[in-house]
């Protein structure tokens, strides 16, 4: 049992139309602590019937919610932000317990939530239409933005709370209502956020949460129910493709934020030490389970050996263990399947010629802890050059010219983020434009925040989450209104 200051935030039921509900057939599923696989609690395992009810409730709630002024909706959201601020430590503890990451990292995720709510609450008051100059007589033209309707949203387990809010808050701010499905591994922080939305006075039906163990049938209902007007999905490319196919049956608007295979390119003319510090931080954040995390280190030949040696020295300082312990800097990965995938990719790379400079195996401290791992001279034939590792493994590749670095960086079906480090201003512009990625970090890895459109090109997704472009206005239909005049 987890001991919160406010035990009322440990919710184990679904939240539909302002009511806390069990599964109709009373089934539950266990939520595990990924550090020791102990059961934290059991949560209602909702199914298709409950999902249909939630969608209908969201549809009912929509007309009153959209009729409120943007200011009224904003005020309601600000009360939600305040509730979150009043409960930061409990939310942080919940997140670390169900997700495994160190408390410091959970704190960062949770602190982001009220900031995000406040920004969208204000920004939704500034969504404007246009007047358009007519090209013929006796007509006036304008556009207005209107909320799209019921939004169904699905987020993963790596940043469960902040990614959920990144999807749901802008939708709610512009006047949509939401049915949200958390990942089966991490429903608890989101259910606590739902309780806080209730205390903040968000009207019933505006934000609904459907915890479940088997997501496929809920996904099918989301994609095929005609009352759902938009689907937002953050997760793997494989699941995204499946949902996009299903959603085509009802021509739903979709936003997909999918996998990545992000390069980190280090040129000899960069501030190398600062670059390595930032690389270490991003690579091992959340035990490497970050969609815009670094999957491939491309380093210029002349500094390669020195960079690998420095990186290894810094990676050695990481302290693996339970997220709850204050000196832990890296926790477990999320599941047995995650460990197996990392092991397979490392084994494959080593078989093909990579050298293990650090780690390379799981850690005795915990069944699901993989040691911080550094591999050098990884051949591009290795599976990990093409596949997302999603674990604490840093593979290093060499390049000899900018042209080669660019070719290697773009040699992937993904296009989420790309990072590069150089002090050459011309190169900064050239590469920023030439890298095939939705997010480019030039001498920085900070490409995420409530004000920034976040998302990928190629098979990394469709649309953007965060910011005004794509996110806030992605929950609106643009309506063109032409008004004729008979000149009377």
Binding site for ligand ADP (CB under 6 A): 154-156, 183-184, 215-216, 219, 235-236, 239, 242-243
Q: Cβ(480)–Cβ(143) under 8 Å?
A: yes
Contacts of 242 (CB under 8 A, 6+ apart): 219
Name the residue nearer to ligand ADP (CB basis): 238 or 309.
Answer: 238
3-state secondary structure of 349: helix
3-state secondary structure of 84: helix
Least Cβ distance, residue 45 to ligand ADP (angstroms): 12
**Closest CA relative to residue 428, chosen from 265, 306, 296:** 265
DSSP 203: P
Q: Most distant CA pair in the chain: distance in Å?
A: 85
Least Cβ distance, residue 245 to ligand ADP (angstroms): 11
Name the residue nearer to ligand ADP (CB basis): 156 or 441.
Answer: 156
Provide the β-strand partners of residue 375. Answer: 356, 395
Of these residues, 198, 221, 257, 388, which one is catalytic? Answer: 257
- Radius of gyration from C-alpha coordinates of the chain: 23
DSSP 320: B
Residue 257 appears among annotated catalytic residues: yes
Name the residue nearer to ligand ADP (CB basis): 34 or 219.
Answer: 219
Q: Give the whole-angstrom CA distance, residue 286 versus residue 372.
A: 12
Q: Cβ(288)–Cβ(329) under 8 Å?
A: no
Token couple for 100: 């495994």
Least Cβ distance, residue 236 to ligand ADP (angstroms): 3
Name the residue nearer to ligand ADP (CB basis): 154 or 279.
Answer: 154
Residue 291 appears among annotated catalytic residues: yes
Place of tokens 């000196």: 327
Q: How far is CA 402 from CA 408, 420, 430, in A?
A: 10, 11, 10
Residue with smallest beta-carbon separation from ligand ADP = 219
Of these residues, 76, 168, 176, 291, which one is catalytic? Answer: 291
Name the residue nearer to ligand ADP (CB basis): 291 or 447.
Answer: 291
Name the residue nearer to ligand ADP (CB basis): 272 or 287.
Answer: 287
Q: Give the whole-angstrom CA distance, residue 30 versus residue 45.
A: 9
Q: 471: alpha, beta or left, given left = phi > 0 and alpha = psi -120 to 50? A: alpha
What are the catalytic residues? 257, 291
């Amino acid at each position: 049992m987890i001991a919160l200051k406010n035990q009322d935030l440990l919710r184990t039921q679904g939240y539909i139309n302002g009511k806390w509900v069990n599964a109709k057939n009373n089934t539950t599923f266990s939520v595990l602590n990924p550090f020791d696989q102990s059961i934290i609690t059991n949560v209602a395992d909702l199914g298709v019937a409950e999902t249909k009810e939630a969608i209908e409730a969201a549809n009912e709630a929509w007309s009153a919610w959209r009729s409120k002024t943007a200011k009224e909706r904003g005020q309601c959201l600000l009360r939600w932000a305040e509730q979150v601020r009043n409960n930061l430590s409990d939310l942080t503890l919940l997140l670390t317990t169900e997700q495994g990451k160190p408390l410091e990292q959970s704190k960062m995720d949770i602190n982001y939530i009220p900031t995000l709510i406040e920004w969208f609450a204000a920004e939704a008051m500034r969504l404007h239409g246009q007047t358009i100059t007519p090209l013929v007589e006796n007509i006036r033209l304008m556009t207005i933005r209107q909320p799209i309707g019921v939004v169904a949203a699905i987020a993963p387990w790596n940043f469960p709370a902040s990614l959920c809010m990144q999807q749901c808050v802008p939708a709610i701010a512009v006047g949509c209502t939401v049915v949200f499905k958390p990942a089966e591994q991490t429903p608890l922080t989101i259910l606590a956020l739902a309780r806080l939305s209730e205390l903040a006075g968000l009207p019933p039906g505006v934000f609904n949460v459907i915890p479940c163990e088997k997501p496929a049938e809920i996904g099918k209902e989301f994609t095929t129910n005609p009352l759902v007007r938009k689907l937002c999905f953050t997760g793997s490319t494989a699941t995204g493709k499946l949902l996009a196919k299903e959603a085509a049956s009802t021509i739903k608007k979709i936003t997909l934020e999918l996998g990545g295979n992000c390069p980190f390119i280090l040129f000899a003319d960069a501030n190398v030490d600062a670059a390595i510090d930032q690389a270490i931080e991003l690579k091992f954040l959340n035990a490497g389970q970050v969609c815009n995390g670094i999957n491939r280190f491309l380093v210029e030949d002349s500094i390669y050996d020195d960079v690998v040696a420095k990186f290894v020295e810094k990676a050695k300082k990481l302290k693996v263990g339970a997220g709850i312990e204050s000196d832990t800097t890296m926790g477990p990965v999320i599941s047995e399947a995650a460990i197996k995938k990392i092991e397979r990719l490392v084994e494959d790379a080593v078989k093909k010629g990579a050298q293990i400079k650090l780690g390379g195996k799981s850690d005795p401290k915990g069944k699901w802890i993989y040691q911080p791992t550094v591999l050098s001279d990884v051949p591009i034939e290795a599976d990990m050059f093409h596949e997302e590792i999603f674990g604490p493994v840093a593979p290093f590749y060499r390049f000899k010219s900018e042209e080669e670095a660019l070719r290697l960086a773009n040699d992937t079906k993904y296009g989420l983020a790309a990072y590069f480090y150089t002090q050459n201003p011309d190169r900064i512009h050239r590469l920023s434009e030439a890298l095939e990625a939705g997010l480019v970090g030039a001498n920085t890895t900070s490409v995420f925040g409530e004000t920034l459109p976040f998302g990928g090109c190629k098979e990394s997704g469709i649309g953007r989450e965060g910011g005004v472009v794509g996110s806030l206005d992605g929950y609106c239909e643009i309506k063109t209104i032409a008004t004729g005049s008979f000149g009377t």
